C-alpha cells in the first residue's frame, strides 16, 4: 500500500495556466507538508497543515494556495503559472507535536512550465 501518494506524477503546462496537485496519505498522520525541490535539488518547505489548519506558510507567492479538506489530504493549487514554478513538488506527512517524528515523502510531482 502506498503511504503518501501524489497525482499527477508529471505535469506539463503553459505559462498563465492554473493547475492543481493532489496528495493523500494513509498513515493516520495529522500533519502534512508541501516542499519544492528546484533544479539544483534544493528542498524548501512551502506549507504545512495540522488537522486541516495552516501552520507553516513560508515566503511563497500568493499564486500558490494549499487546501486541506481533511487530515489525509493536502492539495496545492497554483494560479497563473510562471516559468520559475518549474520544479518537483513533494508532499510529506508526519505525526505532530514531537520533532523526532520523521516525515514520510510522496514520490513527487514534476511540474514543467513552458
Binding residues (CB under 8 A) for other proteins: these are: 4, 31, 33, 40-45, 48, 50, 55-56, 90, 92, 94, 96-108
CB of residue 108 to other proteins, shortest distance in Å: 5
Taking the CB of residue 1, how many other CB atoms lie within 10 A of it?
5
Q: What are the backbone angles phi and psi of residue 85, rounded to the nearest 5°? A: -80, -10
Q: How far apart are CA 6 and CA 58, in angstroms?
A: 21
Nearest residue (CB) to other proteins, 4 versus 11? 4
Half-sphere exposure of 16 (CA within 13 A, CB side): 0
CA 36, distance to chain mean position in Å, is: 7
Nearest residue (CB) to other proteins, 9 versus 63? 9
CB of residue 43 to other proteins, shortest distance in Å: 4
Nearest residue (CB) to other proteins, 15 versus 55? 55
Amino acid at each position: 500500500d502506498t503511504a503518501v501518494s501524489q497525482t499527477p506524477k508529471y505535469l506539463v503546462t503553459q505559462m498563465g495556466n492554473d493547475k492543481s496537485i493532489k496528495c493523500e496519505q494513509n498513515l493516520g498522520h495529522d500533519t502534512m507538508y508541501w516542499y519544492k525541490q528546484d533544479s539544483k535539488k534544493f528542498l524548501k518547505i512551502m506549507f504545512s497543515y495540522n488537522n486541516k489548519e495552516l501552520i507553516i506558510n513560508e515566503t511563497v507567492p500568493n499564486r500558490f494556495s494549499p487546501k486541506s479538506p481533511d487530515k489525509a489530504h493536502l492539495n496545492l493549487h497554483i494560479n497563473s503559472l510562471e516559468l520559475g514554478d518549474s520544479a518537483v513538488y513533494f508532499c510529506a506527512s508526519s505525526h505532530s507535536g514531537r520533532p523526532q517524528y520523521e516525515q514520510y515523502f510522496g514520490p513527487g510531482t514534476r511540474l514543467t512550465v513552458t
